[in-house]
């Protein structure tokens, strides 16, 4: 995607239900050319995050801490937390943002996906993120209201992928092949994903790839994939999707095989997991 094609503001605001803070679903590309586009002492009642595609600036947290922002950073606007974002006025700033309601933020925190202690985090993202951003934006623009819950799932998936890319950066062992492999595996939501495809994508034989991946990350590629799928499963279950739908979305042929894997990974079946989290 050519950043020159991005308009000043190409955004969409939708809402599931009547309560904006609870049901907002919004995203878009924003180009900020001047210092007037900075935001000071800003506070919202929902969760929003943005990826800086170009430009730099400063994030000023509620306690006055100043954090530099630059291209590739994921910046979080946390609910009810005062903050400021100061844009470097050189005309280069471009961001893609996503906003979701407070309940989504709450269960992503519960799952340990969002780190509320770090409002600015470096990521290792690939160009496919930008195309996925654009696809979500275009889908959201023309979607009927009954499609919004499904698009919310896509937005949540992108938020999870962004936070996963932060984790890749934090545990980066200076091996670009393994970093790329983590991104490829983390981008697959299908239990039948073939790890040999990832090995081929990083120009390695499968056995050498498997050994290097485990030595670098501490887990096998297959285990890493399962952990990613179970994180997706928990997120979908807590959002209210039926177990049958979750199983099908992740490529499982039936509820039994999904339940068996979930129970093995999480120590309890999905039904009990839902009851425990909502009790």
Please indicate, yes or no, whether residues 116 and 240 belong to a single structural domain of this protein: no
pLDDT of residue 174: 58
Q: State how many domains the chain has.
A: 2
- Residue 150 falls inside a structural domain: no
Walk across the sheet containing 120-122 and list its strands: 9-15, 24-32, 93-100, 47-54, 73-77, 120-122
- Residue 164 falls inside a structural domain: no
Please indicate, yes or no, whether residues 91 and 197 belong to a single structural domain of this protein: no
- Residue 79 falls inside a structural domain: yes
Strands 66-70 and 56-60: antiparallel
pLDDT-derived band at 70 (thresholds 50, 70, 90) equals: very high
pLDDT-derived band at 207 (thresholds 50, 70, 90) equals: very high
Global pTM reads 0.70
The domain spanning residue 270 has which CATH number? Answer: 1.10.10.60
Secondary structure of the chain as H, E, C letters: CCHHHCCCEEEEEEECCCCHHHHEEEEEEEEECCHHHCEEEECCCCEEEEEEEECEEEEECCCCCEEEEECCEEEEECCCCCEEEEECCCCCEEEEEEEECHHHHHHHHHCCCCCCCCCEEECCCCCHHHHHHHHHHHHHHHCCHHHHHHHHHHHHHHHHHHHHHHHHHHCCCCCHHHHHHHHHHHCCCCCCCCHHHHHHHCCCCHHHHHHHHHHHHCCCHHHHHHHHHHHHHHHHHHCCCCHHHHHHHCCCCCHHHHHHHHHHHHCCCHHHHHHHHHC
- Residue 41 falls inside a structural domain: yes
pLDDT at 83 over 90: yes
Average pLDDT over the chain, rounded to whole? 87
pLDDT of residue 111: 80
pLDDT at 199 over 90: yes
Q: Which domain holds residue 53?
A: 3-144
Q: From 144, 167, 189, give the residue that closes a domain.
A: 144
pLDDT of residue 102: 94
Is residue 68 exposed (0-12), middle (13-18) or buried (19+ Cβ within 10 Å)? exposed
């Amino acid at each position: 995607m050519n950043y020159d094609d991005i308009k000043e503001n190409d955004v969409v605001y939708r809402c599931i239900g009547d309560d904006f803070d609870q049901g907002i679903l919004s995203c878009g590309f924003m180009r900020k050319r001047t210092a007037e586009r900075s935001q000071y002492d800003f506070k919202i009642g929902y969760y929003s995050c943005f990826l800086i595609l170009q430009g730099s600036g400063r994030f000023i947290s509620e306690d006055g801490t100043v954090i530099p922002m630059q291209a590739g950073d994921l910046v979080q606007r946390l609910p009810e937390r005062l903050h400021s974002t100061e844009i470097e006025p050189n005309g280069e700033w471009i961001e893609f943002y996503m906003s979701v309601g407070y309940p989504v933020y709450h269960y992503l925190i519960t799952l340990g996906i969002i780190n509320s202690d770090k409002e600015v985090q470096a990521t290792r993202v690939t160009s496919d993120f930008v195309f996925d951003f654009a696809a979500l934006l275009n889908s959201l623009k023309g979607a009927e209201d009954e499609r919004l819950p499904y698009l919310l799932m896509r937005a949540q998936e992108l938020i999870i992928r962004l936070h996963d890319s932060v984790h890749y950066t934090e545990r980066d062992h200076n091996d670009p092949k393994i970093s790329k492999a983590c991104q490829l595996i983390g981008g697959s939501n299908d239990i039948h994903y073939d790890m040999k495809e990832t090995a081929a994508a990083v120009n390695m034989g499968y056995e050498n790839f498997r050994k290097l991946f485990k030595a670098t990350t501490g887990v096998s590629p297959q285990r890493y994939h399962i952990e990613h799928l179970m994180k997706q499963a928990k997120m979908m279950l807590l959002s209210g999707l039926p177990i049958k739908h979750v199983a099908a979305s992740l490529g499982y042929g039936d509820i039994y095989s999904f339940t068996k894997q979930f129970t093995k990974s999480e120590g309890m079946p999905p039904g009990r997991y839902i009851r425990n989290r909502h009790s």
